[in-house]
Structure formats: structure tokens, C-alpha cells
Structure 1
Amino acid sequence: MRLSLKSLVMAFLMAIIIFSIPWVWVNIESIAVKTAAGDIAFFHTALKLCKLLWALFKEYIPYIFTLYIITAAGVIFLEERNPDRTIAWLLALGLLPGIGFIFYFLFGPDPKRRAVFKKYKKKRFYQSTFSEQLPEKEIYTNDIVPSKLVCLLEQTAHSRLSHWNSLDMLLNGENVFPAIEEALERAQRYIHLEYFSIAKDETGLKLFEILKKKVREGVPVRVIYDSVGSWRLGRKFIATLRNEGIDIQPFLPVSFPMIRRDLNFRNHRKIVVVDGEVAFTGGLNVGDMYFGRNRHMGFWRDTHVRIKGEAVAAIHEIFLNDWFFCTGQTLSEKETFWDSKGIPDTPLPMQIAASGPDSNWRAILQGYFHLFTMAQKRIWITTPYLVPDESLKMALTTSALSGVDVRIIIPSRADHRMVFWATRSNIDDLLAAGVRIFAYQNGFIHSKLVMADGKWLSVGTTNLDNRSLDINFEVQVFVYNEKKTREFEKQFLLDMDQCLEFNLRHRMERPIWDRIRESLGRLWSALL
């Protein structure tokens, strides 16, 4: 049995309560001190108890602190697999004992959860679904398909290369949601959705009305929602949906999600699969915000993709495994069916990579690292959060210093303050290496894109930060096609027209308060 610091905290509190019982029992009569009016006063006894505890604490504080540090260090070394985060947590717990305890309890690693994920990994029911359903068809190959990257994703993400696909770029809420709604309306066999955040607003309610309608038509509807990202749905509303026939399940339910907003191991995927014919994934969750209806965020710039062909089975496999994890249910052949009749005639090689704490590998991070290091001409990135680990940061700076055109678009406004300042803290080092960084001015940009050498493209749900690349469950599409990559590069240049470029000299003149906030953001990002 693995020991966790959180378990030790709870055991310590329980020990205090248990050992306090005899003292309370012996002194129960002296506790009840009656006043002249007949009321019971506890003040004097409580004051004496506090003084006694403080005296004991002062006498033994060196021993308590030493035991605390040794125990915390040992447990963190056992729990953490990221050396940078290990050092950060040790500093936080050592320099801020009380506050460090609270932060670790809320945001620190949880070995029990990782054990659950490893158990889930061994019991994946649909692990070979994609391979079994692929038709016997001529394999298409060319020099653009990067064989070593393909091999890497096969090894780390069990992602088989598919060839016969189509992919459409869908920009922003006004294009994404109508396309998804049209596919849902045409569903005949099943509808499967998986989202990090579903809002109970006009957009979310419209989606659920379509799903209720399809249930009445006899189409099975299954929905996975993240219990933290979608906590505002509420139990009553969820119960109503279930009564209407929608099979909706939470992913890793937690207590008090409205307080613990940054918990680890969240399902950040956005997946829609309809009848095995079409699939959607990308940066957009479900809500009015993505139509630019949030006053603070303004226009919401995001990118989704619609996929048809062989790769639909690969995306569906991810949903099916997540459904099995949430419910333990295996679905009938009809409800896992992949329609091979509509395979596109034009080849579009791609892989679907899923990553998360259930794997020994960081598949998407490793895919990014390989893309960054094999690029010879250019690396263009769009990300809402720029908090890469040291390996990716080194890959980007080394590429830029080697003459590769490295450009990154990030937001100019914050949706999460600490991550915003953590992003800003990484700018100077990248600028010094020759990376060009641009701040998007026309609202908030939330796209997650990587393009390399005009030949290779990655689009999906993954942010360029530690939480996405190491802690959360994500899905990313890797496309190997020059024409399709150029299409996304063209949009990248249009987004650049809405940006202001960072200048290292101007950065050096920024106010001291901004420097402090960036330093705090960098420290915070190291803990996550």
C-alpha cells in the first residue's frame, strides 16, 4: 500500500481527536462552568486548553517540524515523477508549512488516482477496436509521412496510422456548433459526446434539446462530462436529463468541485462521434462564451476539426474506453459500429493520439518534442497557455537558434490569471533565442495548433502547458499532408494580422509589479 501525504494529514488530525477524548472525559465537569444566569460558558476552559497546547507546541516545535519535513520529502519523492515539480513542492512545504499543507492537499499528486488509472489501463476493453475495424485496402505512402514520428505515436499512444480520411477546419463557435448540430440531427444509430465543460446556458440547453429529440426517435445518446469542468450543470439537471433518456456520466466525480477548480486528472477532451461516420474534436467546449457572449473575454477565436474516414474509429475508441472507465459498461456491436462505406477516395494520413495519467508515456508531449526537433524550416504554434516543460522549451530555443522560423501566437488577455502570468514568464527566454511571439488582440485565442515545415500538422485539445501534457486526459490529431497543413498555415497568418509582436527590449522595461506577478506565475506553474 502506497502512503500519501494527504493520508498522513488525515491520520494526524484523527489522532488528535482520538487522544483528546480521554482529556475531555476527565474534565467534562470542569468544562461546564455555569454563570449566574444559568448559561454554560466554555471560554475559560478553552483558553486554558489553548495555552497548554501552545506551550507543548513551542517545546516540541523543532521535532515536529523536522518530522514534518522528512515525512513530506519522502512521500513527495515517492509520489512525484516530475523532478521540477518535486523541488517546487519541497520548497513550498518547507518554507510555508501551513499554507503548503493546504495547497498540497488540494492540488498535489494523488497516488491512489494513478493506481486507478493503471488498473484501468490493464482492463481497456476496446483497445483493439480500431485495428480490427480497418478495412483491407491499399496502403498509401509517400515521403511526407514521418516514419519515426509514426512509430513513436504507435509505441506511446497505441495510435495506428490511418490513410483514407478527410478533415475540415472549423473556425469559432458560429461554424463549429452548426456543423455538430447538423451531424446530430442526421444520427440514426448512436450519438457519443465527451466534453470537459458543458454550460447550462442557451447553447448548452439547445444541445440537450437536440439530444432529447434523438432519444425520442430511438437513437441511443451517451454523454461523458468532466465533473469539475461541468460542475454548474448540477445534480438536479443531470437527473432530469437521465429521466429524458440521455445516458450522461461524470468523469472522476469529486467533492466540492466549485471550490476545487484546479484539481488534477481532469478529462480535457472534446469528442463527438455520430454513427461511426463523422467525428469532431478541437478546442471548443459547449457554452455561450464560445460565441463571444462573455464581456470579459470578448470574441472567442478557436479551432475545431471535422473528420471522416478511418480515423473516426480511432477517435471513437478513445470515447469507448473512457465510457468503460466511467461505467464499466461494454456496448453492443451496433453501438460501436464504424461505417467503412464512406471512406474518402483521397488519402490523408493521420494519427489520433490520446494521453493522460493512465499511461507510462507522455505521448502528445513526446510527439511535440519530435516535431520540434525534426523541423528544418519553420514551427508555427498557437496556444492559449505557453508553459512548456524544460524539454519542449529547450527544443524550441534550440530550433530557433539553429535558424528555424519559430513563431507562437498567445492571447493578450487572461482567462486564468496565474496561467496568464506563467505564460508571460516564459516569453523572455524564448525571445532571446530568436523565437517570435505574438499577442492576439481581437479577443481571446484558444486554438491548439502546431505546424511544422508546411507538411505536418497537429490540432486538438492539448495546451502547451504541464497540466495538459502530463496531468489531464487529452486528444490530439497528427496530420501528415502538405496541402492540409498549408491551409492551417494560411489561417495562422491571418491570425498574426490580429496580433502585436513582443519585443525583448520593451520587455526589459516592463514594471516591477509585472515581473513579480510573472515570477509568482512561474512558481505556481511548477507546482501543477
Structure 2
Amino acid sequence: MQIITYILLGFFFLNIVFAVITVFREKRDIAATWAWLLVLILLPGIGFIFYLFIGKKMTREKIFDIKSQENIGMPELVQAQKEMLAEDENLLSAKQATENAKEMASLFLESDESILTKGNKVELFTDGAQKFNSLIEDISKAEHHIHMIYYIIHNDKIGKRVLKALEERAAAGVDVLVIYDALGSRSLKPNFFKTLKKLGGKAETFFGSKFPLINLRFNYRNHRKIVIIDGKIGYTGGFNVGDEYLGEYKKFGYWRDTHLKIQGNAVLALQSRFLMDWNAAVPKHKLEYEENFFPLIDKKGHTNVQVVSSGPDSDLEQIKKGYIKMISMAKESVFIQTPYFVPDDSVLESIQIAVMSGIDVKIMIPNKPDHPFIYRATMYYAEAMAAVGAEVYIYDNGFLHAKTVVVDGDICSIGTANFDIRSFKLNFEVNVFIYDAKIAQQQQNFFYEDMKKSYLLTKEIIDNKSKWMKFKQTFSRLFSPIL
């Protein structure tokens, strides 16, 4: 027994030593460092397996490879858009934007080189069937190219419908390129795209593995959802490709999400993002600038738009900064919808300050988890916000997956980024920041309609939770920096 005791003590001592060495040899923020130390020390041996899959940072070589794509074929687009903007004395005319919007536009120009585009037509979808019917109809009319990124593509009814539409256009000579995330679409077999490839289309995984069943890269996933058709029509938002997004999974029920269809020069920014992701993902078939990829489009509407990207290839956390800026500028209201509410301290404090300043802050989250551990952390932070005076609504009509922010009914953000650290730091995301009171108020009205299908998180509900549930929420919160 004494020998066994010494062996165990030695094992635990070595585990602590290796835990410290493992965590501190990579540069990361303090909160994530302590969270990983907690995992590695509390779960000897097993913790290192978790770290192998979700803790390892992206190599400098890979980051450099991704960042280097930004200069491939982009100067032509950037210069053309700058010339268009130079015609106006200000980024936004007085009729079309407040000072807040001008500050937001300047922030993204500096942090993300995100060019503001004017005269876009923007259409919002909150229902999966409507979104996919519109998308498939537009795909069927493509003449030159279809470029597509989805985090999740399933081999199910809607997946096959989308694939069939792509195959038909590829057979007609349209250039079809598809990126799907290797982890998000892990159930998808490569032969799903066999016919598409025979017809001349291409489909590539993002951060795939040489061993299909083993992918050590749980982090740094491409969570973007982008479709560009002929450089003239763009789609982005929360919907992936799968039957659950049509509300056909009993587990989730009705799927409430928000997606955008954009016509106008903002599509060129989505195109730029796609080309960078394609060139970062594929070992060959690299793309260069083509005029047909970036057709300058006549005015389609009246909406001013900036497409903003963020990801682990940059330390600037551009979308998070956009959220903080929006919240800090609010004079009347902040409405947030997100399936995962696990903010870092900077975002949390910006919301707290808004609430304590008398701003009407409303937050809406789902009533059920698709990832239980993350949902417990979400509930912890939701209750913390309710405690300081924010109104927290629990959507009770299925599953809420929308990622939206509306400030003062004047500016809104819709995209792929959740209100959590994973979206801010670990995933590749894209959001559309919209400077149009009409669209912002439309999104705010969606929020009010959703409130009718939600219930308010009250002090009574919080107090009546079991001690075991409160413990799970508090415990989950400890790991929020790495969730």
C-alpha cells in the first residue's frame, strides 16, 4: 500500500508539473490559463486528452498562412470601394446615419479594413423553410459562380436539395465551390459531393484531418455561413444546412434563427471573405482576383452595411469590439438574442454599465441546451444579468439560435457570432453591421414578437432552483474561458 501511495503521489506531482509547463508555454489570456490549469489538475491524465483536442493553440505557421491570403487579389476590390467612398465627404450622410453609426464605421475600418458599402438591399429571414426556398431559387439562376461556406452540412432532405441545386448549375457550366467545416460536418462523408465534383464543382473541408475519425482541432473552426451567387447576391446568418434548421428534430422543435439576403456592394465584402477562407483551406486550386468575382453593382436599396470578420488569426476580436461599442453607445435600449451567453469580463461590464445607466437591456436565450455544459454557464451569466436589472427572456417556442444585437432601434448586427468567448476568440466568424433604422426596427419587432413566446427569468424562478442545479451552473462558469 505504501508503494502504491508513493506512485500515486508521484503521478499527481508530475501531473501538476506538466500541467504548469503545458499551459504556460503558450501565450493566452489569464482567465483561459487558470481555467486550463484547473482542468489539467482536477482531471489527471484525462485533462491532457481534453487539452490535446481543444486546448492547443494554432501554430504560428498556420496563422501566417491564413493571414497571408488577405493580400491575394484583394487590392483591386479595396481600391475600387475606397474610390466610391471618396466621392462623399463623410462615410455616412447625415440623413442615413447618426454619429454612433459613423463611429462604428470608423472602428471597423481601422480594426478589420472593413469597407462600408451603401445602397444595399437587405432582406431578413427568421424561418428556415423561407430562407432555403429563397436560397435554392437564387442558386438555380446562377450564371457564373456559386461560392458557399457552411459550418454544418448534413446528408438529409435539405442537404440533398441544396446539393441537387448545386449539381444542376455545375452541369450547366457554373463554377461551384463549397467549403464545409471538418468538425461541424463530421458526419458528412466525402462521397456526398462525388457527383458535384464529376460535374466540375469543388468541395473542400476547413481544417480537416488526414484521419477522418480523428481530428485534434476542436477549436479554431470555421463557424461562418456564407453564400455568394455571381458576386451579386449574398447570404449569411445563423442557419446551417440540415433538417433541424427546418424544425424537423423533435429534440429542438421549431428552430428560430435569423439570416440575411443581401444585394449590393456588401456582397463583394462577403466574396472577399470567401476567397480568403478558400485559399486558407485548400492545398491547391488557389483563387486569384477575377473581375467576375467582384462586379460593381448599381444601387439596389438604401441600407448601409459593413461586413466584419474575426477569428483566431487576429488578436483584435473585431466582432466583440463591435458589440462593446454598440452597447456603450446606447442611449435607450439594447436587445440581444443568442443561443450561448458566456461573455468575457469586458462584454459583461459593458452590459452592466448600460443597465446601471438606465438603458433598457433585454437578453433572450433558449429554454433548452444543444450543448448542456455551455447552457449551464449561459444560465449562470443570464441570472447574473437579471440580478443587476437586465430583462432576461427564455424563448419557449423551440430552439433560439439567432445571433443579433439591436441598439436604440437604429443600428443592428446580425451574423454567425454568438455572445460567447468561443465566438470572440476561437472560431472564425462573420457579422453584418447594419446602419439602417428601418432594418434595425424590423429586427427589434422580431424581438418583441419572440417575447410573446418567451417567459421572463424572475428572481422567484432563480431562487427556486435546486442547489444541485446552482452548483452545475457555478461549476460550468469556471470553465467559461475555454468553452
TM-score range, shorter chain: over 0.9
Of 159-168 and 253-262, more deviation after overlay is shown by 253-262
The answer to whether residue 71 in structure 2 is matched with residue 119 in structure 1 is: no
In 1, Cα distance between the equivalents of 2:217 and 2:335? Answer: 29
* Structure 1 stretches lacking a partner, 5+ long: 1-50
Conservation of the 8 A alpha-carbon contact between 1:384 and 1:447 = yes
Conservation of the 8 A alpha-carbon contact between 2:73 and 2:289 = no
State how 1:20-99 maps to structure 2 within 5 Å.
59=6, 65-99=12-46
The answer to whether residue 126 in structure 2 is matched with residue 171 in structure 1 is: yes
Of 385-394 and 506-515, more deviation after overlay is shown by 506-515
State how 1:450-461 maps to structure 2 within 5 Å.
450-461=405-416
Of 168-177 and 326-335, more deviation after overlay is shown by 326-335
State how 1:391-410 maps to structure 2 within 5 Å.
391-410=346-365
Aligned residue pair count: 473
In 1, Cα distance between the equivalents of 2:255 and 2:216? Answer: 22
The Cα of 1:296 is off from its aligned counterpart by: 0.8
* Aligned-partner SS, 1:182: helix
In 1, Cα distance between the equivalents of 2:39 and 2:362? Answer: 34
The answer to whether residue 296 in structure 2 is matched with residue 348 in structure 1 is: no
In 1, Cα distance between the equivalents of 2:78 and 2:58? Answer: 32
In 2, Cα distance between the equivalents of 1:236 and 1:329? Answer: 19
State how 1:375-454 maps to structure 2 within 5 Å.
375-454=330-409
Conservation of the 8 A alpha-carbon contact between 2:304 and 2:435 = yes
Match among 485, 488, 494 for residue 449 of structure 2:
494
1:21 corresponds to which residue? none
Aligned residue type for 1:98? G
The Cα of 1:259 is off from its aligned counterpart by: 7.0
The Cα of 1:233 is off from its aligned counterpart by: 1.4
- Identity across aligned pairs (percent)? 34
Of 133-142 and 80-89, more deviation after overlay is shown by 133-142
Conservation of the 8 A alpha-carbon contact between 1:144 and 1:482 = no
The structure-2 alpha-carbon separation of the partners of 1:331 and 1:119, relative to structure 1 and needing over 3 Å to count, comes to closer
The structure-2 alpha-carbon separation of the partners of 1:197 and 1:128, relative to structure 1 and needing over 3 Å to count, comes to same
2:98 corresponds to which residue? 144
The structure-2 alpha-carbon separation of the partners of 1:127 and 1:357, relative to structure 1 and needing over 3 Å to count, comes to farther
In 1, Cα distance between the equivalents of 2:41 and 2:183? Answer: 29
* Aligned-partner SS, 1:233: coil
The structure-2 alpha-carbon separation of the partners of 1:256 and 1:418, relative to structure 1 and needing over 3 Å to count, comes to farther
The structure-2 alpha-carbon separation of the partners of 1:291 and 1:64, relative to structure 1 and needing over 3 Å to count, comes to closer
2:257 corresponds to which residue? 302
In 2, Cα distance between the equivalents of 1:326 and 1:111? Answer: 14
In 1, Cα distance between the equivalents of 2:370 and 2:213? Answer: 17
2:78 corresponds to which residue? 131
Conservation of the 8 A alpha-carbon contact between 2:271 and 2:293 = no
Match among 127, 147, 172 for residue 192 of structure 1:
147
Q: Deviations over 1:103-144 (max 9, x none)?
A: 2122213242x5412332134214435313436374342242
* Aligned-partner SS, 1:518: helix
When the two structures are superposed, what TM-score results if normalisation uses the length of structure 1?
Answer: 0.85
Q: Deviations over 1:391-450 (max 9, x none)?
A: 111111111011000001111111111111111111221111111000011111111100
CA RMSD of aligned residues (A): 2.3
When the two structures are superposed, what TM-score results if normalisation uses the length of structure 2?
Answer: 0.92
* Aligned-partner SS, 1:163: strand
The structure-2 alpha-carbon separation of the partners of 1:481 and 1:381, relative to structure 1 and needing over 3 Å to count, comes to same
Instruction: Tell which structure's C-alpha radius of gyration is larger.
Output: 1
* Aligned-partner SS, 1:192: strand
